[in-house]
Amino acid sequence: MGFHEDPLFREEVITGYLLKRLQPYAVEAFESHFLDCEECLEEIHVTELIIAGLQPVQVSRRTLEDVTLLEFSGPVRLVRRSRELHELSRTVLEQKDTKVLIDLSRVSRIDSAGLGLLMSCYSHAIRNQGALKLLNPNQEVTDLLRLTRIDSVLETFHDERDAVRSFQSP
């Protein structure tokens, strides 16, 4: 694909990539190109910021009894440099809630940065004499939690009421 011949085409590809609207073959071609191209890498960051600025906040908060439930408003990827990862970090690490439940039902992908953030959030909760638990991860995320043995540290639930009740148990 000739990403540099037509700036408008390149911007359309970058926007499609960031909005996850490209066909798999185009994603592969673009990713292999932009990893080696400083110009495209810089442009993707600028476009990502523009798109992020136009989208609503991705993490919502609601309280169930004395448990703070954090939910994503749409499909997200908790991967390095993603806006959702930054937003979750800001939401959890800048708060003093002691009982936190993160709903992962809309998380389609998570990488080492996402796993690291979950552990940072867990450590933050423990330092505040609290607890952090996970709700509704998909099978891929569940498998990754199991593979990395994070599931031995972070409790995971598939029923919201059971998760909230678990915070009340000694």
- Calculate the dihedral angle through the C-alpha atoms of 7, 13, 19, 22, rounding to the nearest 10 degrees: 170
Find the range with the poorest average confidence among 29-38, 76-85, 99-108, 161-170: 29-38
Which CATH code for domain 59-168?
3.30.750.24
Residue 55 has pLDDT above 70, yes or no: no
More confident: 41 or 162: 162
pTM of the model: 0.67
> Domain residues of the chain, as ranges?
7-54, 59-168
Average pLDDT of span 87-110: 90
Calculate ∠ Cα 72-87-123, nearest 5°.
95
Write a three-state SS string for 94-114: CCCCCEEEEECCCEEEECHHH
The larger pLDDT score, comparing residue 26 to residue 56, is at 26
